[in-house]
């Protein structure tokens, strides 16, 4: 329920921004001059509308964004509860090798540290290692509890405050990081699919996603390489809308500056090196989790599971990919092990570890800045509304 509540916070936020002035004898309605959101009259047709109607209108507008993810996650959770023997699931968790699980938990902190190096490399070392690492933890914490992957925008917002870099200078580095992530997951999945019986469909998905990511990366390189041409085209097309031209023009300039990493071959190679090391650590970390449940597990199983989980995380869902991550990872492992209950137990523990590590480190990072989870959420919503 905490995740559904996070998804509904959009409507609650908008309702809280509505200022009401009630005068008796108005029949339970509010006139246009009396209902304002963010200082702008909410009703422009000079007709009275009940407050409940305004609230429900805002609710359904926001629901178009979060409701599909909620439905998909709940459907996957229902399928898991229907097909998996919960007693066998509990027994698998009870009989796991907790020494290996603790070792895996420690390695996950190292994974985060290397991921911070990847991001700082993409930022061309314009922020301190400490600020980048703590902001990364904050972003993953936000992703686990807030809807619409706001953690990615939160990273750009929070690091911008610490480093003095512009929001649109930082955001492209996060986009490049995510594109590289999906490209690597596609490559890993393709490398192991031929050895997994019954996973032929996954190969096609990996080719499609990998191809899309390569096209996206090439498009970003094109924009960075021909930024002056791109700006001229934007200026020509946006002259009809002066407000859009002025506001978006500054953003595009900053965004192209953030894409400059793609023009520096040596810097990009360094980022690829750290990303390869990061994925190697991820495979080792998850392989230890697998060994805790399947003593005869093979490294290939970890590669196949992580590749499938990465694609599952791209599907709309509840915050933290609840249900989707567990279903994708557990289903992939069930293909190679033939044991649904133990495969799901492995996926649940891996997911729980991500919540523990990101939760502890992210909460610490926020506390050092005097921030809270919902405080950052409200700031991000205000920035979006501006």
Q: Tell me what percent of the residues of the chain surpass a pLDDT of 90.
A: 41
* Domains identified in the chain, total number: 2
Q: Is pLDDT at 148 greater than 80 in this prediction?
A: no
Beta carbons of 259 and 223 less than 8 angstroms apart: yes
What is the pLDDT, as a whole number, of residue 12?
A: 41
Pick the closest to residue 22 from 43, 46, 48 (CA basis): 48
102: containing domain: 84-385
Distance between CA atoms of residues 379 and 369, nearest Å: 14
120, 188: one domain? yes
Using DSSP's 3-state secondary structure scheme, residue 23 falls into coil
Of 362 and 60, the structure prediction assigns the larger pLDDT to 362
> Quick one: 206 and 347 in the same domain?
yes
Pick the most confident of 56-70, 156-170, 205-219: 156-170
Residue 30 in 3-state DSSP?
strand
Same domain, residue pair 228 and 348: yes
> In terms of domains, do 134 and 54 share one?
no
Domain boundary among 20, 42, 67: 67
33, 67, 101: which is the final residue of a domain? 67
- What pLDDT does 197 receive? 58
How far is Cα 308 from Cα 196, in angstroms, rounded to an integer? 12
Which of 39, 67, 95 delimits the end of a domain?
A: 67
Across the chain, what does the average pLDDT equal?
80
pLDDT of 46 higher than 50: no
Backbone conformation region of residue 20, classed left if phi is above 0, alpha if psi is from -120 to 50, else beta: beta
Do 27 and 110 belong to one domain?
no
The pLDDT value given to residue 63: 63
pLDDT band at 62 (very low <50, low <70, confident <90, very high): low
Find tokens 């995740």 and name the residue: 3
Q: Is residue 375 part of a domain?
A: yes
72 within a domain of the structure (yes/no): no
Q: Is 76 part of any domain?
A: no
- Give per-residue pLDDT as tens, 8-23: 333 444 444 433 334 4
Maximum CA extent, the chain: 76
pLDDT band at 52 (very low <50, low <70, confident <90, very high): low
Q: Which residues, at least 6 apart from 66, have a Cβ–Cβ distance to it below 8 Å?
A: 7, 8, 10, 147, 148
In a domain, 253, yes or no: yes
Q: What is the share, in percent, of the chain residues with pLDDT greater than 70?
A: 76
pLDDT of 49 reads: 53
Residues 195 and 311 in one domain: yes
Q: Is there a single domain that holds both residue 18 and residue 145?
A: no
Within-domain flag for 142: yes
- Nearest 5 degrees, angle CA 76-CA 73-CA 77? 40
What are the helix (H) ranges across 123-241? 129-145, 150-163, 167-192, 200-225, 227-238
Contacts of 140 (CB under 8 A, 6+ apart): 112, 151, 354, 358, 362
**Is residue 204 domain-shared with residue 285, that is, in the same domain?**
yes
Q: Is residue 78 part of a domain?
A: no
Task: Read off the pTM.
Answer: 0.75
Domain match, 7 and 118 both = no
- Give residue 236's pLDDT band: very low, low, confident or very high (50, 70, 90): confident
Q: Given a cut of 70, is residue 94 above it in pLDDT?
A: yes
Say if residue 57 is in the same domain as residue 91.
no
- Whether 133 is in a domain gets the answer yes
- What are the pLDDT digits (tens) for 287-343? 999 999 999 999 999 999 998 888 777 788 888 888 999 999 999 999 899 999 999
Taking a C-beta distance cutoff of 8 angstroms, is the pair 369, 137 a contact? no
31 belongs to a structural domain: yes
Do 151 and 25 fall within a single domain?
Answer: no
Q: pLDDT-based confidence at 139, cuts 50/70/90?
A: very high
Among 175-189, 190-204, 296-310, the minimum mean pLDDT is found in: 190-204
DSSP annotation of 44 reads -
């Amino acid at each position: 329920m905490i995740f559904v509540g996070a998804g509904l916070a959009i409507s609650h936020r908008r309702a809280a921004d509505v200022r009401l002035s009630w005068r008796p004898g108005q029949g339970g309605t509010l006139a246009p001059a009396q209902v304002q959101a963010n200082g702008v009259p909410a009703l422009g047709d000079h007709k009275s509308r009940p407050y409940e109607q305004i609230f429900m209108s805002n609710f359904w507008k926001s629901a178009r964004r979060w409701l599909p993810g909620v439905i998909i996650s709940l459907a996957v959770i229902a399928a898991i509860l229907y097909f998996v023997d919960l007693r066998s699931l509990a027994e698998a968790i009870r009989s796991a090798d907790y020494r290996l699980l603790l070792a895996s938990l420690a390695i996950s902190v190292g994974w985060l540290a290397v991921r911070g190096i990847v991001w700082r490399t993409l930022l061309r070392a314009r922020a301190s290692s400490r600020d980048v690492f703590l902001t990364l933890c904050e972003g993953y914490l936000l992703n686990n509890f807030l809807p619409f992957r706001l953690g990615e925008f939160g990273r750009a917002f929070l690091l911008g405050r610490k480093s003095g870099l512009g929001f649109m200078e930082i955001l492209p580095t996060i986009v490049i990081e995510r594109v590289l992530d999906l490209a690597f997951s596609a490559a890993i999945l393709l490398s192991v699919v031929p050895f997994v019986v019954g996973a032929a469909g996954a190969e096609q998905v990996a080719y499609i996603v990998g191809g899309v990511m390569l096209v996206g990366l090439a498009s970003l390189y094109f924009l960075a390489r021909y930024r002056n041409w791109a700006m001229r085209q934007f200026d020509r097309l946006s002259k009809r809308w002066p407000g859009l031209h002025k506001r978006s023009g500054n953003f595009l300039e900053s965004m192209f500056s953030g894409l400059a990493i793609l023009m520096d071959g040596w810097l990009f190679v360094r980022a690829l090196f750290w990303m390869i090391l990061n994925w190697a650590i991820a495979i080792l970390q998850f392989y230890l989790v697998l060994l805790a449940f399947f003593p005869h597990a093979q490294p290939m199983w970890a590669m196949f599971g992580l590749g499938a989980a990465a694609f599952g995380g791209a599907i709309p869902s509840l915050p933290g990919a609840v249900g989707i991550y567990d279903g994708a990872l557990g289903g992939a492992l069930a293909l190679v092990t033939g044991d649904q209950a133990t495969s799901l137990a492995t996926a649940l523990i891996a997911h729980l570890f991500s919540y523990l590590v990101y939760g502890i480190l992210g909460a610490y990072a926020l506390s050092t800045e005097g921030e809270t989870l919902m405080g950052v959420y409200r700031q991000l919503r205000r920035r979006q509304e501006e």
